[in-house]
Structure 1
Amino acid sequence: MNIEVMIIEDDTRIAEINSRFTKKVAGFEVIAIATTGEQAIELLEIIQPQLVLLDVYLPDMKGTELIKSIRQSNPEIDIIMITAASEVDIVGHSLRSGVSDYIVKPVTFDRFKNSLENYQKKLEKLNFNENLSQDEITSLWRNSQQENSFVVEEEAPKGIDPLTLNKILHYLPQVKEEGITSEMLSKESGVSRSTARRYLEYLISQKKIYADLVYGNVGRPERRYFRTKHL
């Protein structure tokens, strides 16, 4: 039996991408798409999805407000946040509200698939076992991002924000063979050029990436950053 999914996303293009991503993961079925909080509430009164994929920035309310409504009227529904929001208060609210996972846009299919499959595994453990071992119980609370090879294992030092770091880490798999400059990363991630350079240099210290001087057409060298083989 498929896990029924409802997508709540105001950008119809992204909603369609999330829908196509969901359909590519075995065992999941999209049964509804809502583009506003009010529409989502109305649909939730009619349908009972197992899982909601929720954006934070909706035109009529924040997704965090909608979480409260879902928890009050449909406490059995699970929620995965898929959003550009990385503010600490929003992430903290989502965590305290029992959100299953938190994915920061732009979303890669691998990250999306990883989240849904981890959620599926958790459901299987809860639905097909009467008792669980300590290891199995621990795994139910393990954040799927901790299982993702792009997350830095050590505690980030002063000046390195974990949310910004993870945003950059999730972008790294998209870096092509020719590498990336701090200016290119700045444009892609929305951070300043100096911030992009600081985080890239930090990732070198973590052996997540490496840098080299590359000479362009005009002969001026530029520092480019490349993924290590395990990324």
Structure 2
Amino acid sequence: MTDEIGVLVVEDDEHTREVNSRFVERVPGFTLAGTAPDANSALRALRADRDGGRAAAISLVLLDMNLPDGHGLDVCRRLRASSIDVDVIAVTAASDVATVRAAVSLGIVQYLIKPFTFASFTERLEGYREFVTGVDATGTATQSEIDQAFASLRRGSSTTSLAKGLSEETMSRVLAVVRRESALSAREVAAQAGLSRVSARRYLEQLVESGKLTRATHQHGPGRPEIQYSRIR
């Protein structure tokens, strides 16, 4: 898989399709490979993507369940029957148990219920990215590596109860900054996220409390030790 994960957004509502497409383009590591307003358009786009002997541009499908010409679950079944190897995240208002259970049985890797925030959307995509990069596809994986890869999907399903005065969009930006590095201080995060050091620390501490980051104290020579924040591996 390339560094950029190509995404196909399948959504019949034009406004929602545009919003979801913009969301994809705002998440580091993902690129919008195309959009489709219905099931048949999505299947045609995926088949065309696999034809011609070139590398596939679409690795992930954000799939609505309620499409004008078919159900999202039927799209998944047709993808599997056609041996089209692509991952699917359900992005839908359908929350009935039968649909959710069928989605799991068909291998849908994440389930995001509408309406949702950009922060929740980002969590799902970042969890997916950690999942696909967590195990080397060219070799064998240890039990620990497999557990860690699947845990990244579960972390993407968690929610954050924000303290007063914090915004979900800024929280997502701070989280993305830390996840790009091995360990950062509040000062370093503030510089990269465009925040004051005090604000950055508030967001970082909230992320530690919610289980998305870890915190450790490091001593660099004489003087006061520095707190550094890292993503959970």
Q: Is TM (by shorter chain) over 0.5?
A: yes
Instruction: Pick the aligned partner of 1:90 from 99, 102, 116.
Output: 99
Q: Secondary structure at the match of 2:70?
A: coil
The residue number in structure 2 matching 1:64 is 73
Name the CA shift for 1:13/1:24 in 2 (closer, same or farther; >3 Å).
same
The residue number in structure 2 matching 1:131 is 140
CA offset at residue 111 of structure 1?
Answer: 1.2
The residue number in structure 2 matching 1:160 is none
**Ranges of 4+ aligned residues in structure 1 off by more than 4 Å:** 145-149
Q: Conserved in 2, the CA contact under 8 Å of 1:3 and 1:28? A: yes
Q: Conserved in 1, the CA contact under 8 Å of 2:128 and 2:152? A: no
1:17-61: CA deviations, max 9, x gaps? 111111111111111100011111211221141110000000010
Work out the CA distance in 2 between the residues paired with 1:70 and 1:143: 25
Identity of aligned residues (%): 31
CA offset at residue 70 of structure 1?
Answer: 1.2
1:77 matched to 2:79 = no
Instruction: Pick the aligned partner of 1:111 from 95, 98, 120.
Output: 120
Instruction: Pick the aligned partner of 2:28 from 18, 26, 33.
Output: 26
Q: Secondary structure at the match of 1:33?
A: strand
The residue number in structure 2 matching 1:53 is 62
For 1:87, give the aligned amino acid: D
CA offset at residue 133 of structure 1?
Answer: 2.6
Aligned residues: 159
Q: Conserved in 1, the CA contact under 8 Å of 2:24 and 2:31? A: yes
The residue number in structure 1 matching 2:201 is none
Structure 1 segment 102-181 matched on structure 2, within 5 A: 102-127=111-136, 130-142=139-151, 144-145=153-154, 148-150=157-159
Structure 1 segment 216-231 matched on structure 2, within 5 A: none
The residue number in structure 1 matching 2:11 is 9
1:154-213: CA deviations, max 9, x gaps? xxxxxxxxxxxxxxxx8x76x977xxxxxxxxxxxxxxxxxxxxxxxxxxxxxxxxxxxx
For 1:53, give the aligned amino acid: L
CA root-mean-square deviation: 2.4
Q: Conserved in 1, the CA contact under 8 Å of 2:130 and 2:152? A: no
Q: Secondary structure at the match of 1:7?
A: strand
**TM-score normalized by structure 2?**
0.61
Work out the CA distance in 1 between the residues paired with 2:164 and 2:114: 19
Work out the CA distance in 2 between the residues paired with 1:88 and 1:143: 23
The residue number in structure 2 matching 1:202 is none
For 1:111, give the aligned amino acid: S
For 1:10, give the aligned amino acid: D
Q: Conserved in 1, the CA contact under 8 Å of 2:131 and 2:150? A: no
